Chains A and B, each alone.
Chain A
Amino acid sequence: MTVRNRVLILVSAVAVLAAVGLASVLHASARAERRDHTQAGGPRVPSGTVALNGSGRLVFRNMAWGPHRDELTSVPAGDPGGPRTASGVRCLRFHAASGTGVCLQAVHGPVSDTYRALVLDARLRTLDHYDVPGIPSRARVSPTGHFAAWTAFVGGDSYAGTNFSTRTAIVDTRSGALIPSLESFRIVRDGRPYRAADVNFWGVTFADDDRTFYATLASKGHTHLVRGDLRDRTVTTLHTNVECPSLSPDGTRVAYKKRVAGLSKDAPWRLYVLDLRTMRETPLAESRSVDDQAVWKDTRTVVYALPGDYGADLYQVPADGSGKPRRIASAAVSPAYLG
């Protein structure tokens, strides 16, 4: 084959490949555009004012197609399926308590997205912002509103790298003092100091004393529930196989996802509640795998997200293992009950 023929083959192949590539990009961007049009049969989402100090409201990230997709919206806590008031603030993950909110959002850079955490006041104005080192995963505000925490996935960094880790930060929303990584805390495991290169933390939940928190610690393939102390900067292991704990409003129990043996690798978790006094585990009535940090609607009910047609839907289930799960809102994620 002559050089000329080879070049000809290459040029024609480049033309075909470029056409295929371009078609796929155009197809994908047309699909993206459809998401900006209001979805038929979806919830009504008018613009309005969303406040974080009102009571009896539920605030979450609206995922329904339309102009207010991905914005924080609020609904009456008693009628979560009703019309949503859109705030204009876009978040990937959100939580709020006592008039303080934390919003993890993407910042569109010239090339790739970066992420940041906004600390919001009761009128959703930004008080402070912090860089988040990876893809946002969990967000939580303490019951007092004085502390906020978030977890991000930090991605692989080698050829076809498949090693991921998490980074969890806690900020004092009054002073702005940031703990960039819980990995700087001393770890006490089974009564002894512990350290390892592969320690990861995720899913912080706060008690109402502005000092105690709970979180997941993972190392060597095991997860632990830890109780953390913000003043001593220590974490102490309490229980194994606990991920994404969520402390009940009365501080006695933790709702969490437990990796149950024998389930598929893609859906390995079930919702459980752990009694912190007796360390007794109670499986909840949700039979599907839950990959979320639940929130407590009240002392008897937990709310969590499951994958849905438009990303995720919200469900509730009794916290004592009775009853059965009920869908309370579709196309919604990251709920926070106010007041």
Chain B
Amino acid sequence: MYVADSRARASAHDAVRPRAGRRRAAVAPTVLALGAVSLVTDVSSEMVTAVLPLYLVTGLGLSPLGFGLLDGIYNGFSALVRLVGGHLADRGGGRHKWVAGLGYGVSAVCKPLLLVAHSLTPIGIVLAADRTGKGLRTAPRDALISLSSTPETRGRAFGVHRAMDTAGALLGPLVAFLILRATVDGYDAVFTVSFCVAVLGLLVLVLFVPGGRDAAPARERPTLRAAMGLLRGRDLRRITVCALLLGLATVGDSFVYLLLQRRLGVPDRWFALLPLGTAAVFLLLAVPLGRLADRVGRWTVFLAGHAALFLAYVLLLTSWHGTGLPYLVLALHGGFYAATDGVLMAAASDSVPEALRSSGLAVVQTGQALTRFACSLLFGAAWTVWGDRAALAGAAVALAVCAAFSLTARPKEAVTS
């Protein structure tokens, strides 16, 4: 029903677009709508994430240790879900919105299920389903962002989306703890409100994100083989290979925080706040770095992000204990995300045909997620055998080598006019 509609709406938006847009085109309404959906959905999901440890320990009296054991198996499954999501979204000439909607819907339904899951196995299943929803929606959503913005403003569009997304992630815990305060351990209220917020996100998607694009009738039906065939294209192959290699040298967040605490002596009471530091910097820098990527080239910014990560590793390796050092490491870590997360999607979008946009982005994201997971395993093993310092030094060297390789393998920059 939106095929005809979206056009009318687009022109309506053109009419109300502020004149300042002449100077630099405003972000497409669809991108803002998707940003709003992500913001609201992240409020909902981070509400649950924030109270989950407390709920398990004090609400249910369960021991949360060993809860992460299934993570390994689940990571593989989640990668598969992502590829399937991307593929489904491309079939039938662009069903991105509906596949993304399915993903948001699955995650929303999981919230009330938490009210009835009272032991570890059902809770584990609900969390897995929640992440399946996230896996399903990520590639189609990013495809929608790239399809609804012009190639020369894609970096900014992704930046705006990531900033809104991160804002939601920062707000969620706040909302959850305010509810817990008002209700004294009212976890049921937190989950109910989280569900209501998730439904709101889904509704914004359904109402304000245009559906099937009036794409030219696809000459060939997008198949899995066609999706894999994308990798025969030189640019996407290079991007994917580089993302894979760099992912292999990207130490997981929890390790970074653990190292910050151990090597730089961050006090225990700040430990829980470290991820907030990364998120805040990500939020602040996502738009400026996205715009910069549009201007100076996405690959340049993407690699500069990894240079920031490299610098963070080096700072963690020094034995200098300045008071500002933890802040600097967090700033670099947040900067790394701002310069790479959305920017990689913008860069990859340039080399994937529209008809296969979701599948193409899913391939890059999945590859990156898998090599990052492999890095976590390797890093943990290296830590056991050689200690944290040597493991980190190894990661730093690997990162430098992979970045140098990526510098030579830079894909042809798309239009930057």
In this assembly, does B288 line the interface, its C-beta being within 8 Å of a C-beta of chain A? no
Give A18 to B192 CA distance when docked, in angstroms.
10
Q: Is the interface of B mostly helix, strand, loop or mixed?
A: helix
List residues of chain B with CB within 8 A of the CB of A158.
253-254, 275
A129 CB, nearest partner CB in chain B, Å: 12
Once A13-B203, A160-B49 are accepted as A-B contacts, the answer to whether A21 and B193 lie under 8 Å apart by CB is yes
Picked from A195, A218, A264, the residue with its CB within 8 Å of the CB of B65 is: A218
Once A162-B71, A195-B387, A196-B384 are accepted as A-B contacts, the answer to whether A307 and B61 lie under 8 Å apart by CB is yes
Once A17-B199, A155-B52, A266-B62 are accepted as A-B contacts, the answer to whether A111 and B177 lie under 8 Å apart by CB is yes
| A154–B272 CB distance below 8 A | yes
Q: Which of B180-188, B241-249, B330-338 faces chain A?
A: B180-188
In this assembly, does B120 line the interface, its C-beta being within 8 Å of a C-beta of chain A? yes
| A25–B183 CB distance below 8 A | yes
Question: Of all chain A residues, which has the CB nearest B384?
Answer: A196
| A135–B53 CB distance below 8 A | yes
| A153–B57 CB distance below 8 A | yes
List residues of chain A with CB within 8 A of the CB of B311.
none
B7 CB, nearest partner CB in chain A, Å: 13
| B384–A197 CB distance below 8 A | yes
List residues of chain A with CB within 8 A of the CB of B199.
13, 17
List residues of chain A with CB within 8 A of the CB of B274.
157
A122 CB, nearest partner CB in chain B, Å: 28
Number of A interface residues in the complex (CB < 8 A): 61
List residues of chain A with CB within 8 A of the CB of B57.
135, 137, 153
Q: Which of B263-271, B354-362, B407-415 faces chain A?
A: B263-271
Number of B interface residues in the complex (CB < 8 A): 77
List residues of chain A with CB within 8 A of the CB of B179.
25
Q: Which of B126-134, B341-349, B394-402 faces chain A?
A: B126-134
List residues of chain A with CB within 8 A of the CB of B200.
13-14, 17
Picked from B182, B204, B387, the residue with its CB within 8 Å of the CB of A29 is: B182
| A161–B193 CB distance below 8 A | no
| B271–A154 CB distance below 8 A | yes
| A156–B68 CB distance below 8 A | yes
Picked from B204, B254, B255, the residue with its CB within 8 Å of the CB of A10 is: B204
A residues 274-331 in Cβ contact with B at 8 Å: 291, 307, 312
In this assembly, does B1 line the interface, its C-beta being within 8 Å of a C-beta of chain A? yes
List residues of chain A with CB within 8 A of the CB of B184.
28-29, 32, 35
Once A13-B200, A28-B189, A266-B119 are accepted as A-B contacts, the answer to whether A180 and B63 lie under 8 Å apart by CB is no
In this assembly, does B30 line the interface, its C-beta being within 8 Å of a C-beta of chain A? no
Q: What are 8 contact pairs spanning A and B, CB under 8 A?
A: A13-B199, A18-B196, A27-B189, A154-B272, A162-B71, A197-B383, A221-B69, A307-B61
Chain A residues within CB distance 8 Å of chain B: 1, 3, 6, 9-10, 13-14, 17-18, 20-21, 24-25, 27-29, 31-32, 35, 92, 108, 111-114, 131-135, 137, 153-167, 180-181, 195-198, 200, 218, 221, 264-266, 291, 307, 312
